[in-house]
Amino acid sequence: MQLPIKIEDTTMNFYNEIEDLKPGDVVVIGTGMLSSTYLELYPQYVVLTEHVLRKEGVKIIIVSHTVDAVIFINKALVELKVFERKTYGKDFVNLGFIAGEEAAIAGLSKNLHALITVDYYKNMLSSLPMLENINDARDYTMVIDVTSTSDVQYWLNQAGGPYGTKIGVAASAVKATEAASYYSAGQIFGLLVSLQGAAQYEILINKPGYAVKSLSAQSAVLLFYIALLVYGNITYFRSRRAKKI
Amino acid sequence: MNDFEIMTMLITSTFILMSYSILYRENVLFKLIENIMVGATIGHAIVMGIYQIRDLAIIRIIKGMQTGDPINILYIIPVILGIVLYLRFSKKYRDISRIPLALMLGVGLALSIRGLIFTNIIGQVKGAITPLTSIQSIIFLFGLVCVLLYFTYEKRVSTIAGPLPKIGRYFLMLTMGAYVAYTLLSRISTLSGTLNTLFVTPAWYLIPVAFLLILVDLILKRREPQ
């Protein structure tokens, strides 16, 4: 049984911003995915990358902020058949993992070519035509950060604030409360929250998949949990009253 | 599904069941998977770390030596500082390891402070100044004032503010509740994901095997002399 899924404004704004991308625009898809948050973030990563891939002429820079994320990025690239749909070095590049957390994001924002010389596949950056005119955060049309770590803060600190780069965040449920304050302050243009954000996005791009399927099960478990909470409280108050009598 | 995919699925499911076996009691299989997980994570991180040193520094240093470019040769400094960090294991030279540590902390703080002013002060204040056109924005402003008053420990302010600081405390409790609820949501997503992996053919064949093992263990435990 499929429960109805309501599209929230945070997701809709994300979709609209990507929908407005034009040929020649540059999108950085960064991720701080961890093994522990893979099940929440991977569906978001896949669905967002899929949407960006559908936009003709948009250039994609893929980067990983955690060592774990490298594995999941490779999985997503295979699943979405990116190498068959786009030309490597011309339409997209994979920079792989760059150590240094905020320092790495600062480097990506200030001077990409000064930070690293080779991409994930050991190609010299100077040999990739796509990166010829891309140097710093001013050249990035938007940054999409799929994360459960503090990358959102780092991207805002290093790119959003100083260069005015647009930032969209797809976060794990735990991280979403922090990211929500940036969304309500207008510092990020969109926010996908956990599996339900991915499910809403899957519906928006008309590609229902893992998240849509899993969301009904998740909702059922949550309802069960609420029922347990109510039952526990009723029992507690009953036992307290019984003690008083 | 090819043989490799079936094998991967079976291994993954076995590992999941081994992890969940802690729900029954602490056992050898759980300890084994715990060690495998820690080992695999650290192993992967070490390999990635070595690649990083090679890509970010060694390649540049070699290039610098070949071309005579002094900037690239200077990348030897962070490599030396990185090695110096390990001097903390030496009793005699431990103090020297504080130099790169101090440098790392200093650079990190400097980078953060630069951006934090934009993000967490100017950006958030700008975000808070919104026209009061909706109930949401009115509640937001009211909550913001109350929470700020809650953290104002000046006695005169507390007297004038009346019940507002207490209301601020309730707002904080609501926020904490939201945090907890989101954490629960996160864990349920993980649980449903793992169950999705388990309840697929042939992975689910392992579930009765796991229960059988538990049953055998229970019987053996009963037979043990008290």
pLDDT averaged per 10 residues in sequence order, chain A, 245 residues: 85 97 96 91 96 96 95 96 96 94 93 92 94 95 94 93 94 90 92 93 93 84 90 94 80
User: In which residue are the tokens 């002399």 written?
Assistant: B225
User: In which residue are the tokens 């320092």 written?
Assistant: A103
**Burial level of A68, CB count in 10 A (0-12/13-18/19+)?**
buried
Is residue B151 over pLDDT 90?
no
Chain A residues close to B171, C-beta within 8 Å: none
- Please answer whether residues A61 and A95 qualify as being in contact, where contact means their C-beta atoms are separated by less than 8 angstroms: yes
Which two three-digit tokens encode residue A136? 């710093």
Which two three-digit tokens encode residue A112? 């990409």
Distance from CA of B96 to the nearest CA of A (A): 22
pLDDT band at B160 (very low <50, low <70, confident <90, very high): confident
Has residue A229 been placed in a domain? no
Q: What is the pLDDT of residue B226?
A: 67
What is the pLDDT averaged over residues B122-141?
Answer: 85
Has residue A150 been placed in a domain? yes
* Whether the bond into B202 is cis, omega within 30 of 0: yes
pLDDT band at B124 (very low <50, low <70, confident <90, very high): confident
Residue-wise pLDDT tens digits, B204-226: 899 999 999 999 999 998 888 76
Domain span at A53: 9-212
Q: Do B44 and A68 touch (CB under 8 A)?
A: yes
Please give the Cα distance from B93 to B214 (Å, whole number).
Answer: 53
Q: How far is CA A194 from the centre of its chain?
A: 9
Residue B174: what are its φ and ψ, rounded to 5°?
Answer: -60, -40
Is residue B38 over pLDDT 90?
yes
Please give the Cα distance from B56 to B78 (Å, whole number).
Answer: 10
Has residue A230 been placed in a domain? no
Q: What is the pLDDT of residue A15?
A: 97
Q: How many domains does chain A have?
A: 1
Q: Please state the ipTM of this predicted complex.
A: 0.82
- Outline where A20-59 has alpha helix (H): 38-54
Q: What is the pLDDT of residue A1?
A: 66
Which two three-digit tokens encode residue B117? 């002013």
Q: Do B193 and A35 touch (CB under 8 A)?
A: no
Chain B residues close to A67, C-beta within 8 Å: 44-45, 48-49
**Burial level of B68, CB count in 10 A (0-12/13-18/19+)?**
exposed
Distance from CA of B22 to the nearest CA of A (A): 17
Q: What is the pLDDT of residue A85?
A: 96
Chain B residues close to A153, C-beta within 8 Å: 119
Q: What is the pLDDT of residue B39?
A: 96
Please give the Cα distance from B6 to B79 (Å, whole number).
Answer: 44
Distance from CA of B143 to the nearest CA of A (A): 13
Q: What is the pLDDT of residue B155?
A: 73
Q: Compute the 3-state secondary structure of chain A and give helix, strand, coil in percent, each to the nearest 5.
A: 60, 15, 25
Has residue A217 been placed in a domain? no
Chain B residues close to A97, C-beta within 8 Å: 48, 51-52
Residue-wise pLDDT tens digits, B57-91: 998 999 999 999 898 999 999 999 999 999 999 99
pLDDT band at B131 (very low <50, low <70, confident <90, very high): confident
Has residue A116 been placed in a domain? yes
Q: What is the pLDDT of residue A213?
A: 85
Q: What is the domain-level CATH number for residue A99?
A: 3.40.50
Q: What is the pLDDT of residue B202?
A: 87
| Preferred mutation among B104, B192, B199 to probe A, highest tally of A CBs within 10 A | B192
Q: Do A214 and B140 touch (CB under 8 A)?
A: no
Please give the Cα distance from B192 to B198 (Å, whole number).
Answer: 10
Nearest neighbour of B115 by CB, restricted to A156, A222, A225: A156
Please give the Cα distance from B163 to B143 (Å, whole number).
Answer: 13
The model's pTM is 0.88
**Residue B73, CB half-sphere, CA atoms under 13 Å: how many?**
7
Has residue A221 been placed in a domain? no
